[in-house]
Amino acid sequence: MSISNQSGLDILREVDDEGQENSFLRKTTRKIQQFFKSDPGYQSRKAEYNSPAKATGDVNINVTSQDWLSKLDRNLSIENLTGKSLGIVVVSGRNKGLIKNPFLGGLVDIVMRRQDKLYLKSVEQVSSEYSPMQEQVYEFKVDMPLVQKRLGAFLKKNRVDGLSLSMHFSTGNYSLPVLIRHVLLYDYYTDDMKDSLWRAMIIYVSRQVTSNKYTKFHLWCVQKRIGNIRMYLVRPGDVYSFQGQTSWAAICNKSYMCNIQLEQSPEVSVKSSLPKYSNEPIFQSKTISQEEVGWLLFMLSIGNHARAFPIQNYLANTVMETVLPVELRCPFLSRSVDCEIFQKNTKRRVMEKWRQEFKKDLNVCEELEFKNVKKSGYMQPLFDLTMPLGCFDSLETKEMFYLRHNIAGFQADLTPYPMRI
């Protein structure tokens, strides 16, 4: 064997031995990494895919302070815009009047579109006056096909876990933090997972109907899947419109405020989207308030701008402060581990970490299912999984439910159905 051939064999042996620290392959890899890292733009390009939020300071995102808000702009009339009456009755004269901005101090977010890009500005304020203590501007930027393909492959590989979590969503065995996390990932999931999340949201809203935080009209809207799914986590009573500016809306309470630029004005929504639903029987019942119509127009008008609304900021500063902490790494996600799936090159160990987090959510749901089984005292047949726990899956009243199942002794109220698994 010649000397040159012997040298070539030595190199091949070194390439094959990847376990050696000074192997030819490892040396070459380190050199390539050092070359790319020496590029000043490497870190910025790498960070671009760390999460949907790309921090930027080059865009001016400001909105005039709104001291007065309204539930529905007084100049916006369904009858005037459509040329016909929908039979809507105004329940309270307060709905058309101006309301003092309830925000007293805390976190303020602004969602705005500039040059076909969505931006979110987060500001810490000590009062409703514009006195920012700390602020940050993010651009919402996602390689949608990449993330959808990645999560599709994940659910295909982990089909059993995916189906199990979907079943728990569909039957009401979930905690609110688990629901919030996966609702924020809704746009990147497969159609089957999206369908289960809508079923979970129907359960969530129906439970809120029984506690008088939502109405039957809101339940009808979520059943029709109107608008962006995450906006159903916002209490309808916290949604306002700007005074004299129908292209802007506000979501606010005493400790949180978000000013959102709508994707299309309510006037456009009335003419383009509302006619699809105006012939529904619920619109002829004459029980819908003007405030509910205003909320519907908000849901139809916000469009894809809802993707940039940080729902976890709203919840963390209102009812979920002790349950859902705000993670500063990305304002569009609820957990840091979710940022990893947005990287351009996701390593196998990263998806394994995400799988473990997915498994934790599944374990939480299974524990809730076990507790509900013990509480109810009996198992629901496998073929009868259409009725979620403690809620209405349709506009069927409790009386109708008892009559359909031939159960005597019903009461005329809106308490939940008997728990069944």
Average confidence (pLDDT) over 219-245: 92
pLDDT at 20: 52
Domain termination residue (choose one: 326, 345, 370): 326
At residue 238, φ and ψ (nearest 5 deg) are -95, 5
Q: What share of the chain is helix, strand, coil (3-state, %, to 5)?
A: 50, 15, 40
> What is the C-alpha end-to-end distance of the chain, expressed in Å?
75
109-137: b or e for each residue (b if 16 or more CB lie within 10 Å)? bbbbeeeeebbbbbbebeebeeeeeeeeb
> Mind listing the pLDDT tens digit for each residue in 117-130?
999 998 877 655 55
Average confidence (pLDDT) over 80-95: 44
Domain check: are 246 and 285 in the same one?
yes
Q: Distance between CA 366 and CA 352 in Å, rounded?
A: 21
13 pLDDT higher than 80: no
User: Has residue 259 been placed in a domain?
Assistant: yes
pLDDT at 232: 97
Domain check: are 204 and 83 in the same one?
yes
pLDDT at 132: 52
User: Has residue 379 been placed in a domain?
Assistant: no
66-105: b or e for each residue (b if 16 or more CB lie within 10 Å)? beebbbbbeebebeebeeeebebeeeeeebbeeeebbbeb
Answer with the residue of higher pLDDT: 114 or 243: 114
Instruction: Give residue 284's identity as a one-letter amino acid code.
Output: Q
302 pLDDT higher than 90: yes
Domain check: are 26 and 84 in the same one?
no
User: Has residue 174 been placed in a domain?
Assistant: no
User: Has residue 124 been placed in a domain?
Assistant: yes
Q: How far is CA 291 from CA 73, 76, 96, 266, in A?
A: 10, 12, 8, 14
pLDDT at 72: 58
Percent of the chain at pLDDT > 90 equals 33
Least confident residue range of 67-71, 154-158, 175-179: 67-71
pLDDT at 358: 95
In sequence order, what are the residues at sequence separation of 6 or more whose Cβ sits closer than 8 angstroms to the Cβ of residue 143? Answer: 49, 342, 344
Neighbours of 235 (CB within 10 A): 16
> Mind listing the pLDDT tens digit for each residue in 331-382?
888 888 888 888 877 666 668 888 999 999 999 999 988 887 766 655 555 4
Domain check: are 27 and 59 in the same one?
no
Query: What H or E segment, with its residue span, contains residue 68?
Result: strand 68-70
Q: Distance between CA 23 and CA 268 in Å, rounded?
A: 65
pLDDT at 30: 63
Answer with the residue of higher pLDDT: 329 or 96: 329
Instruction: Give residue 133's identity as a one-letter amino acid code.
Output: M
At residue 22, φ and ψ (nearest 5 deg) are -105, 25
Dig out the tokens for 38 from the structure: 């020496």
Average confidence (pLDDT) over 74-92: 46
Q: Per-residue confidence at 9, pLDDT binned at 50, 70, 90?
A: very low
Q: Distance between CA 70 and CA 67 in Å, rounded?
A: 11
Between strands 68-70 and 98-100, the pairing is antiparallel
Average confidence (pLDDT) over 197-216: 94
Please give the residue range of the domain that contains residue 20: 3-38
Please, are residues 240 and 252 in contact by the beta-carbon 8 Å criterion? Answer: yes
User: Has residue 47 been placed in a domain?
Assistant: no
> Mind listing the pLDDT tens digit for each residue in 14-56?
344 444 555 666 666 566 555 545 544 444 444 344 578 787 7
pLDDT at 70: 82
CA dihedral 368, 164, 333, 336 (to 10 degrees): 80
Placement of tokens 């006037």 in the chain: 267
Domain check: are 33 and 74 in the same one?
no
Placement of tokens 């040329």 in the chain: 83
Average confidence (pLDDT) over 156-181: 94
Domain check: are 122 and 246 in the same one?
yes
User: Has residue 77 been placed in a domain?
Assistant: yes
Q: Distance between CA 208 and CA 237 in Å, rounded?
A: 13
Average predicted confidence (pLDDT) for the chain? 75
User: Has residue 341 been placed in a domain?
Assistant: no
pLDDT at 258: 93
Domain termination residue (choose one: 263, 298, 326): 326
Neighbours of 39 (CB within 10 A): 10
Domain check: are 109 and 234 in the same one?
yes
DSSP label at residue 73: -
Least confident residue range of 173-177, 186-190, 255-259, 330-334: 330-334
pLDDT at 374: 66
Average confidence (pLDDT) over 125-151: 77
pLDDT at 421: 33
Domain termination residue (choose one: 304, 326, 348): 326
319 pLDDT higher than 90: no
Least confident residue range of 22-31, 251-260, 319-328: 319-328
Note the pTM of the prediction, 2 decimals. Answer: 0.74
DSSP label at residue 346: -
pLDDT at 292: 87
Dig out the tokens for 196 from the structure: 């289960």
Please, are residues 184 and 361 in contact by the beta-carbon 8 Å criterion? Answer: no
Least confident residue range of 25-39, 155-169, 261-275: 25-39
Where does 120-230 have alpha helices with state H?
A: 144-157, 159-171, 176-183, 191-210, 216-223
201 pLDDT higher than 60: yes
Domain check: are 120 and 191 in the same one?
yes
Answer with the residue of higher pLDDT: 411 or 245: 245
The string of DSSP codes covering 247-300 is: EEEEEE-SSEEEEEE-SS-HHHHHHHTGGGTTTSGGGGSS---HHHHHHHHHHH
Q: 3-state secondary structure string, 107-151?
A: EEEEEEEECCEEEEEEEEECCCCCCEEEEEEEEECCCHHHHHHHH
282 pLDDT higher than 50: yes
Domain check: are 138 and 114 in the same one?
yes
Average confidence (pLDDT) over 180-199: 96
Answer with the residue of higher pLDDT: 116 or 12: 116
Domain check: are 203 and 318 in the same one?
yes
Percent of the chain at pLDDT > 70 equals 64
Dig out the tokens for 136 from the structure: 């940050």
263 pLDDT higher than 60: yes
User: Has residue 125 been placed in a domain?
Assistant: yes
Domain count for the chain, please give it. Answer: 2
Domain check: are 109 and 207 in the same one?
yes
Domain check: are 256 and 314 in the same one?
yes
301 pLDDT higher than 80: yes
